[in-house]
Amino acid sequence: MDTGGNFLPIIAALPFVGALIPGVMIRAGRTACATYTFMASALAFILLMLSAPAVFRGEVLQFQLEWLPMLGLNVNFMLDGLGLLFAGLILGIGMLIILYARFYLSREDPMGQFYTYLLLFQGAMVGIVLSDNILLLLVFWELTSLSSFLLIGYWKHLPEGRQGARMALTVTGLGGLAMIAGMLILGSIVGSYDLSVILQHKELIQASPYYLPALILILAGCFTKSAQFPFHFWLPHAMAAPTPVSAYLHSATMVKAGLFLMARMWPVLSGTPEWFYIVATTGLITMVLGAVIALFKDDLKALLAFSTVSHLGLITMLLGFGTEAAAIVAVFHILNHATFKAALFMSAGIVDHETHTRDIKRLGGLRHLMPVTFVIVTIAALSMAGIPPLNGFLSKEMMLEEASHTAWLSNPWILPALATLGALFSVAYSFRLVAHVFLGPKRDDYPAKPHDPAFGMWASPAFLVVLVVLIGLMPNLIAGPLVDITAAAVTGGHPHAHISHWHGLVPAFWMSVAAILGGALFLSLHGALERGWNAAPRPEAKVIFDAITRASTRASHWLTDTLHNGSITRYGAIFAAAITAAGLFAWFESPMSAPTREMLPINAIMAIGWVLLVISTGCIIAFHRNRILSLVLLGVIGLAVSMAFVYFSAPDLALTQISVEVVTIILLLLALNFLPGRTPVESGMPRRLRDAVIAGAAGLAVGGLTYAILLRDFAAESISAYHLANSYKGGGGKNVVNVILVDFRGFDTFGEIIVLGIAALVIYALTKSVLRGPGGRWLLNWGPDDDEAGDRHPLMMVVVTRVIMPIALMVGAYIFLRGHNAPGGGFIAGLIVAIALLMQYMASGFAWAEERQRYHYHAMIAAGVMTAAVTGMGSWLAGRQFLTSSYGYIHIPPIEEFEWATAMAFDTGVFITVVGAVMLALHSLSSMSRRTGEQVNIHPMDVDPGRGAAPADGKEA
């Protein structure tokens, strides 16, 4: 296996980079835009061709780059014969489509936008066929669904275009979700998500009990993407897209993604009865059904769309046979189908472009008026019908040969007969395409006067038709080597394709003759058959899809309205009940082992604390409608929990808990100033009883679980021993808790301060919104329910807080500096300083304190987060991972030697963020107090001397 695949990531990236070009180059003109778009695909194609010789020598080129190794997601690319075939079709036909679209799209169509979508689509497809990691493949897989949605719905003014895009996204998106699950199962079976590794473990995968679930889920993704029955209906409705999109989607992209993945996974998933009956049966039904429907379609693109469905079914059926010979035929027909189907779709676009209609019943006789188009369509249609000596004949004959040797449910006739029937209808609709559109007399009622278009529009389909003829005449010279290396990649062996026009009077010959003669007969009887088809009752896929969509939407609305009605009580009840039920299920499914520890003795202090805690909690439940009393009781509970932390030798937690309690109580008291003193009764007795039962069950469950855990040892060693052993020598600190927060689990702390800052900013934004809306007007007219004291800022409190302020700051600094080796740290220090500042605001008023504030709180939050981030990034300079801490010892005479750790800089960021977030929350709530003060009882100390009192109307001066 060769690793010289350095071109592979460039090939995969070029279409995405090229997608930036059209939006810029469209200003230089349509031709310049198309030219530079073409160059992006051409460059990727050239690099692919430079890699092709190695692939033809039997090498597999690889490129590997670790991205998220812990998740198994790596940027791994692989190029073998299968990838070469599909990437060549995607890029090669993509260039022809770019040329064709330049002349097809009108001046009213935003060409730059079209080419951007097209290159995104192309890049997603190239990524799929080159991926050597199934998680990376899934990323590109979903990108194809999203980019095809943009392309199918490109003509946004057409309702059918919008609906076709939604239908395609819905069906392929749901299939993609199923495939994600299947791929994850497959990766877990093998223990790797790299395709090159997975493809080497056929026995392991097929012996796994999860083989069948993985197979079904993966095939669901393949079948939806490749429009296999019963998911075939979305593809014809995608024909509302511009013809260049249809030609590209049907020949080389999107629908071929499912075929590619089935071929890619063939070495490990095929060869079982499950694979044969699911894949071959689905393909056979799709082949026959698509061919039958195509015969009775009057829209040119609809006929071709259902013919694509039929041929996709043919290829799926061949892959389902599970034999090496059938895989060779499938590969060969993928190549042949891409050539004649792209030519036919572009030719259909030419007919539509020149005659202004795609209705076959309004056409006919065009061979006299559009001779060039007639020749192109005739050759491509005859190839699609399987008429010698064109390439479609070769792969059709080989398909019939494989079908003639394949039994279904031990019956040797069913599958060959149905395959012949599908081929017969294929001949019929191909003949009809030529006869009803181009043969017959000229008409005088065309919507527009038909004529052949300019060379730029028919050059692309003409080039493909030349390939159709050349492959048909010289298959072993032109297509043979490519088919061989592709089939080798599919089967994992060394197959050789025996491509020949004549195999003797074998069953396949007579099946082919029957198909051609029967197709000609069906064409002659088309009128009578069509009347019977139209009269016959049959299900309409679109109607069924719309009904399912409407029913799903109604069910979703009902479920959403039922569960998400804005009631926090309901949310809490559902959540608590679900978690309790899941816990009980786990408890009874896996009985606990016997206890291994004795209970600790309970002394009087513990008992008293526990009783006070229970009483306080019970009082909150009993008196929760009294908001002030509830807040006081919450403070009591917080204090009891803090004392419990002290008792259990967790001073850091105790300091944090009590600091948070003080800050929270003060802020909540300020907020409660604008709420009624009592909470109204909102729940009836039945609901309260329900909530009591759920809450009691949840509490007992949590208590029981805690009790059970504390009395048992576990086999796995606790990580606490690692932290204790490495706190000093790894992080340079003796306070294990602080070292964990700023070093071992620095990512967690970094995320927490970001969340804290965001919460403060949200409070600020909500407050601003309230003050600008009806709430602001309400505050202007609001007055307290009770008489207020005349002295809003007692002199004693003012004096005490100003004396305490420097002491509190010194304590905060002390707590901060000692945090790495003793209880403390940036978070606790930030809360202590915030409490000191809160006391200043409470004692002297917001305006007085704000006048002395030199830094904006928004800036403090930003500075804190950035300080922590820059500290973390500093480790990159030493070649270490983000947020890796370092420490050392510094001696500055005459100061004795002391320790310096980079974690202190990180802790400084935590400190600044905490202070900024708390004060911004206070600022937001105080803004409401000041708005109230503008109308009632403004105190002189609340007025900013530099600005004066605010006007009574609430507008800023």
Cis ω on the peptide bond leading into residue 894 (within 30° of 0)? yes
Q: What are phi and psi of 678, to 5 degrees?
A: -125, 145
pLDDT digits (tens, 9 = 90+) for 51-60: 999 999 888 9
Output 723 or 516, whichever has higher pLDDT: 516
- At residue 320, the pLDDT reads 93
The answer to whether the beta carbons of residues 233 and 204 sit under 8 Å apart is no
- Out of 524, 551, 586, pick the residue that ends a domain: 524
Does an H or E element contain 61, and which? strand 61-63
- At residue 948, the pLDDT reads 36
- At residue 950, the pLDDT reads 37
Dist. CA 544–CA 556, nearest whole Å: 18
379 CB neighbour count, 10 Å cutoff:
24
> Chain-wide mean pLDDT for the chain?
85
Helix 243-251 crosses helix 111-130 at what angle (to 10 degrees)?
A: 10
The answer to whether the beta carbons of residues 860 and 808 sit under 8 Å apart is no
Q: Is the pLDDT of residue 771 over 90?
A: no
- At residue 91, the pLDDT reads 95
- Out of 503, 524, 545, pick the residue that ends a domain: 524
Burial of 940 (0-12, 13-18, 19+ CB in 10 A): exposed
- At residue 494, the pLDDT reads 82
| Residue recorded with tokens 């979508």 | 117
- Out of 501, 524, 547, pick the residue that ends a domain: 524
Q: Is the pLDDT of residue 938 over 80?
A: no
Q: Is 386 a domain residue?
A: yes
What percent of the chain is helix, strand and coil (3-state, nearest 5)?
A: 70, 5, 25
Q: Is the pLDDT of residue 583 over 50?
A: yes
**Tokens representing residue 217 in the block:** 């889920």
**Tokens representing residue 698 in the block:** 């949840």
Q: Is the pLDDT of residue 683 over 80?
A: no
Dist. CA 903–CA 367, nearest whole Å: 81
Q: Is 428 a domain residue?
A: yes
Q: How confident is the model at residue 308 (pLDDT cuts 50, 70, 90)?
A: very high
- The identity of residue 228, as a single letter, is Q
**Tokens representing residue 297 in the block:** 């379609």
**Tokens representing residue 496 in the block:** 């050789």
- At residue 303, the pLDDT reads 93
Quote the percentage of the chain above a pLDDT of 90. 36
For 666, 777, 811, 841, 860, the CA distances from 764, given in Å and listed in that order, are 17, 18, 29, 17, 14
**Residue whose C-alpha is closest to residue 157's, from 219, 233, 106, 98:** 106
What is the rounded average pLDDT of the residues 580-594? 81
Burial 59-77, CB ≥16 within 10 A → b, else e: bbbbbbeeeeeeebbbbbb
What is the rounded average pLDDT of the residues 696-708? 87
- At residue 656, the pLDDT reads 87
Q: Is the pLDDT of residue 767 over 90?
A: no
Q: Is 281 a domain residue?
A: yes
Q: Is 605 a domain residue?
A: no
CA of residue 339 relative to chain centroid, distance: 33
The answer to whether the beta carbons of residues 167 and 52 sit under 8 Å apart is no
- At residue 238, the pLDDT reads 83
**Residue whose C-alpha is closest to residue 208's, from 191, 232, 228, 226:** 191
Q: Is the pLDDT of residue 677 over 80?
A: no
| Residue recorded with tokens 């389902």 | 320
Helical ranges in 711-856 per DSSP H? 720-731, 736-739, 746-772, 774-780, 795-818, 826-844, 846-851
The answer to whether the beta carbons of residues 852 and 828 sit under 8 Å apart is no
What is the rounded average pLDDT of the residues 797-812? 86
Q: Is the pLDDT of residue 951 over 60?
A: no
3 state SS for 641-706: HHHHHHHCCCHHHHHHHHHHHHHHHHHHHHHHCCCCCECCCCCCHHHHHHHHHHHHHHHHHHHHHH
Quote the percentage of the chain above a pLDDT of 70. 93
β partners of residue 359: 299
- At residue 733, the pLDDT reads 79
Dist. CA 863–CA 912, nearest whole Å: 7
- At residue 790, the pLDDT reads 53
Q: Is 621 a domain residue?
A: no
Q: Is the pLDDT of residue 942 over 50?
A: no
pLDDT digits (tens, 9 = 90+) for 209-235: 999 999 999 999 999 999 898 888 888
**Residue whose C-alpha is closest to residue 77's, from 18, 121, 136:** 136
- At residue 946, the pLDDT reads 35
397 CB neighbour count, 10 Å cutoff:
23
CA of residue 191 relative to chain centroid, distance: 23
Dist. CA 372–CA 375, nearest whole Å: 5
- Collapsing DSSP to helix, strand or coil, 62 comes out as strand
The answer to whether the beta carbons of residues 291 and 425 sit under 8 Å apart is yes
Q: Is 806 a domain residue?
A: yes
pLDDT digits (tens, 9 = 90+) for 494-537: 888 788 887 778 888 889 999 999 999 999 898 888 888 888 88
- At residue 224, the pLDDT reads 93
- At residue 788, the pLDDT reads 55
- Collapsing DSSP to helix, strand or coil, 74 comes out as strand
The answer to whether the beta carbons of residues 331 and 316 sit under 8 Å apart is no
* pTM (two decimals): 0.72
Q: Is the pLDDT of residue 565 over 80?
A: no
Q: Is the pLDDT of residue 576 over 80?
A: yes
**Residue whose C-alpha is closest to residue 369's, from 275, 452, 307:** 452
Longest CA–CA span in the chain (Å) reads 114
Q: Is the pLDDT of residue 931 over 70?
A: no
Q: Is the pLDDT of residue 405 over 50?
A: yes
- At residue 181, the pLDDT reads 93
Q: What is the dihedral of CA 69, 72, 76, 80, to 10 degrees?
A: 150
Output 824 or 41, whichever has higher pLDDT: 41
Q: Is the pLDDT of residue 364 over 90?
A: no
- Collapsing DSSP to helix, strand or coil, 77 comes out as strand
Range of the domain at 424: 270-524
Q: Is the pLDDT of residue 640 over 90?
A: no
Q: Is the pLDDT of residue 817 over 60?
A: yes
- At residue 709, the pLDDT reads 84
- At residue 263, the pLDDT reads 94
Number of folded domains that form the chain? 2
Burial 151-163, CB ≥16 within 10 A → b, else e: bbbbbeeeeebeb
- The identity of residue 117, as a single letter, is Y
The answer to whether the beta carbons of residues 925 and 840 sit under 8 Å apart is no
What is the rounded average pLDDT of the residues 629-658? 86
Dist. CA 319–CA 258, nearest whole Å: 12
Q: Is 764 a domain residue?
A: yes
Q: Is the pLDDT of residue 731 over 80?
A: no
**Tokens representing residue 552 in the block:** 């799903």
Q: What are phi and psi of 901, to 5 degrees?
A: -125, 140
Contacts of 655 (CB under 8 A, 6+ apart): 815, 823, 824, 828
Does an H or E element contain 888, and which? strand 887-890
Q: Is 579 a domain residue?
A: no
- At residue 423, the pLDDT reads 93
Please tell me what DSSP assigns to residue 875.
G
Q: Is the pLDDT of residue 919 over 60?
A: yes
Lowest mean pLDDT among 276-290, 813-827, 842-856: 842-856
DSSP per position, 433-449: HHHHHHSS---S--SS-
3 state SS for 537-583: CCCCHHHHHHHHHHHHHHHHHHHHHHHCCCCHHHHHHHHHHHHHHHH
- At residue 851, the pLDDT reads 72
Contacts of 19 (CB under 8 A, 6+ apart): 40, 115, 116, 119, 120, 123
